[in-house]
Structure 1
Amino acid sequence: MKVTDFDFYLPEELIAQHPLEKRDESRLMVISKDTGKIEHKRFKNIIEYLNDGDCLVLNNTRVLPARLIGEKENTGGKMEFLLLKRIDKDTWETLVKPGKRAKVGSKFIFGNGELKAKVKDIGEEGSRIVQFQYEGIFEEVLDKLGQMPLPPYIRERLEDKERYQTVYSKENGSAAAPTAGLHFTEELLKKIKDKGVKIAFVTLHVGLGTFRPVKVENIEEHPMHSEYYTILKEDVELINKTKRNGGRIIAVGTTSCRTLETISTIDGSVREQSGWTNIFIYPGYKFKVVDALITNFHLPQSTLLMLVSAFSSRELILKAYSEAVEEKYRFFSFGDAMIIK
């Protein structure tokens, strides 16, 4: 299967640059896998498509303010660091710009010296393995000095950092938000629970590999990035009980979907575990756990679009995307949503 099979025309003005004032006022496209029917609603109408006995699975990761602006020790040259993956307590894999200044042994200073860094090694695809020095708690230092690592297609400044977090975010560790969850409000989640829908959580820390383009012609040859996940016993039991009772498992976002399919067994149940997943889901994949999927509109030729196409069909998804462009839906992280049921 070719990467060009997942291309579509997208006018630049449809790429959402900022979140809506009210999270659940975004638009919702409703797609039936069985009939191919497409409906247009608001996200707050999502409750109409959730049933008593279903289980909604949310990714409770929290985005770190992982973009650091500092300067090189001695020369004062400006540098940008983007934290990708924690290797141990004080060591991170990072992206550094400009990379030519970040040779092994180079030292850097952030803020008024509250945070310092030293390049220890060169990582994959030109990343840098960096060791940080600081006093106190790293997350508190990062919260003071760091900026939100918004995707490259968002060029407007985000005034409220919390709008790039889900209302249920809890576990620090992501370099990007699980954006399908950005549409939920506390009030909407309460209404969903009151309807008899169970809510379970997984944690998958989203890496910037999410935004890396597929550079091979045949998608089967694409090396998928790995991301850390975990799920607690109580959530495993809730998901498995829902399955046994005939309810649906509804994944909120491709991150929740990838986690559930990673921890699945042949019979469609899930196991309590944690680790790293590099599962790559594209058409031909047989889903074991997920029965319905809530997701945003993704980039052309992206692995996320391939996953969504696997869940439905490439033809139906490309038809839906064409209709979304025609109807002027907002795309990507701060854009609108769809549910495939």
Structure 2
Amino acid sequence: MSLSHLTIQTNEEVSEALKSGKPIVAMESTIISHGMPYPDNVNLAYKLEDLVRSLGAVPATIAIIKGVPKVGLTKDEIEHLGKEGLKVTKTSRRDLPYVMMHQLDGSCTVATTMLLAASAGIHVFATGGIGGVHRGAETTWDVSADLREFSRSPVVVVCAGAKAILDLPKTMEYLETEGVAVVGYQTKDLPAFYSRTSGIPLEMSVESAKEISTMFRIQHDIIKSQSGILVVNPIPEEHSIPHEAIDSVIEAAVKEADEKGIRGKHSTPFLLEKIVELTKGKSLEANKALVENNVRLAVEIAKEMMKKE
């Protein structure tokens, strides 16, 4: 079996940006296939890519199309992922060889996006929230591969914290064990995705994108570490849902998932959809707002990284 067609491909826009040293921001594709219904998912993907361009950077949405890892998608490819939705294989690091071998379509999780972005030479990635340690993990051992990837792929990931459906204290403990820097952007409190605060203090915080760029240069160029940096960026105040209010909704969604035996990679899409239902769409609007907010910060960081000192 020839594997020549399975090389990582960058589209023309991303290839040119890599050659000329333009700032690039990677984005995941799970939000397209598994995060929102069609056509909201596709419209949001287009909007985020246009936002990156309007701010002076190049977007690189990452997915697998017919077995080929694509760093930078065409509009038709985004439309295809959006329409196929849950039929698209949710692809984490472990799934990548299988999806490629069978020439399947795959939407990339945070872990896979980090891996492919770093392989292509892209070091800034904007997403909504990362995976983490699930509630009840002391009995299920359900821990997202996203967390381990931070110790393997040198990428700055901008998010609004770990998804609020997770066990946030255990997630922070796991990241500490892996030696991952968790840095609050203009906050000293861990954001909780839909909420600006979780009540969990952060040991590291910065006020500017330049500081984040400097941290990455020290880590990557001087210390020669292959670890990434997790930047947690609170959701804008006007879209924030109080932690106490959303937590009761999450508990109800988690209880229903347990009763239905929904676990593993299927749990997050189920929980997020249930939360949208229980909040009457408010959580979906919050999700869109926080991703856009993260993209703006990621572009600033990518621009700082391109500056010569």
TM-score w.r.t. the length of structure 1 is 0.27
TM-score w.r.t. the length of structure 2 is 0.29
Bigger fraction of residues in helix = 2
Which structure: larger Rg?
A: 1
